[in-house]
Structure 1
Amino acid sequence: MPPLYNRRKQLRAIEEREQQGESFWTESFAEETRNRVQLVMRSGVGGGFYDVADAAVEVLLADLGRLALYPIGDPTQQFFRYLGECDDEMVPSVIEAFGQGYARSFENNAQRQEFSRGVPPQEHLIPIDALLVSAINRVLAEDRIAFEFIDGEMVPFSSRELHAEVVRPALQLIALQGWERVEKSYQAALSQLSRGEAANAITDAGTALQEALSHLGAEGNQLGDLTTSARKKGIIASHDVPMLQTIEKACRWVSADRSNTGDAHNADEATSEDAWFTVHVVGAIILRLSSGTQRAADELGAQQG
């Protein structure tokens, strides 16, 4: 469910500080985050959570090499107690165990129903509900937890380490006069990231790069045309072109995946990891453009001479 007034206010304040270059992403799971994850799990499964918890606890015990999480308590009580008390480094494993427990529980239920109808048991692949995964990832994104739950695994965002080296100086640069349109699009990309809107973040990052090239004198309406123009005008060097083409391809992929057309109709949706990579690369390109325009012009002059 969407955050209420006071939490929306807090999240907006965080976004505003992030737009000034601060980073709040962490691998520490606060009590409030663990509670929110628990509530999402409970509401997402509903009345069948006992079976899910039982299967999830079995997954955890096998992974930990233990016979029980606690001396007393039913599976649901033990699972959520462990989620609330375990070390930060174990929380991702607990969430993964929940995903596996969910799949096992529904698979077992399907087999029981087939048995009751006299149908031979068959193997079922029942992944965790996409809306439930999205709800878990929304909690992680809002609380700035540097993980994303993807295909049953908690994936850490190692690219967050680039924040201080790329995002902050890029924000400082585009805050200068003349870069307003670039700043607006880049800030929009960061805001989309904080809301877990990966595809929109990639699109906005691509727009920021287009605006940067236009600001520096390149001509064209599409990123590909702007890249070609920038190369001819010496705004970028020849070895910069592949990097810009990577961003163009990412934007095209997102567009194709959204419209469900072309070769991308079977592609997976963009993840936050994809978006963070794109935003960081665009930030690095913008920094390079700001410092390398004269270098590229010198290279062009040498080639023409």
Structure 2
Amino acid sequence: MSKSTTGPFHESAYRSRQMQAGFTKQQCALQSGFFDKSFKRIFEREALNDPMKLARQHRIQQARKNLGKAFLPCNGVKRPCGSGSYYGTLSGPIEAMSPLSVTQKAHRSPGRNITISPPKKGSGYSYPSVTLSKVKLYASDPYDRAKEVLKKEAAIHRSRLRDGPFKLNLYPRDYFQGNPYRSDKPLLPAHKPLPPAQKDSPVPFKPSSPSKRIGGMKAGTFDKYPSHSTDPYVIRLSKPDNQEPIFRPAPGPKSTPVKSIITVNVNRNVHSANYLSTIPTVRTI
């Protein structure tokens, strides 16, 4: 007999900690997602050579070879107090190089220039009769003199002209005529105003006697009724049976773009798949 089971089938499947898969990691600049702990270069040598960096590394390597510190003197070099100083030298000052040993002559002034008359005071600006040239006298100028001279020259120029300016009718134009709206057709007559409307009289027009009705004798007319003659019978012409039909030519070609026979044959034989390997055939006679 089967025994009914009320408990779980596998109790340890949910009691303790289970195996969990890791979640997806995002892309970053770390080395955690790779097999190697440090990033290895794929180059055989250094990709970039910096001369300053190489010189600094060489200087550090040479400095490591020093056993002690750098040599420092007990006192530093004394600076001269001025240009030409002999302080700190073994020989001391040299008399031959001294500028005071050479005797110099006393400076003599060349004196003033010879003047005939005493100079005038001031620069001469805004003072008359001071400069070499004399003062220019004032000459009166008539009013609008330049305008009058131009007017006289224009009158003399017009008097020398014989005919009007030369005009050439064959120069290039933008249109067929100077005025694109010009027409050779005569203009339509001007619009005439309509005559004033006549006022209708309030009393309607009534003839003196009523019109007479047609009674078959045309009574009341000015002319007599014309005599009517019968029309002759029109004989219909018979068409011959052996007559040939009328010749109607076929319509000509339409004015549409038509490809030539050579173009059609070339496009049919040469296409995008064999245009490199196709060799044109040459017919020899």
Structure 1 length as normaliser, TM-score? 0.10
Structure 2 length as normaliser, TM-score? 0.11
Q: Bigger relative contact order, structure 1 or 2, given CA contacts below 8 A and separation 6+?
A: 1
More helix by share: 1
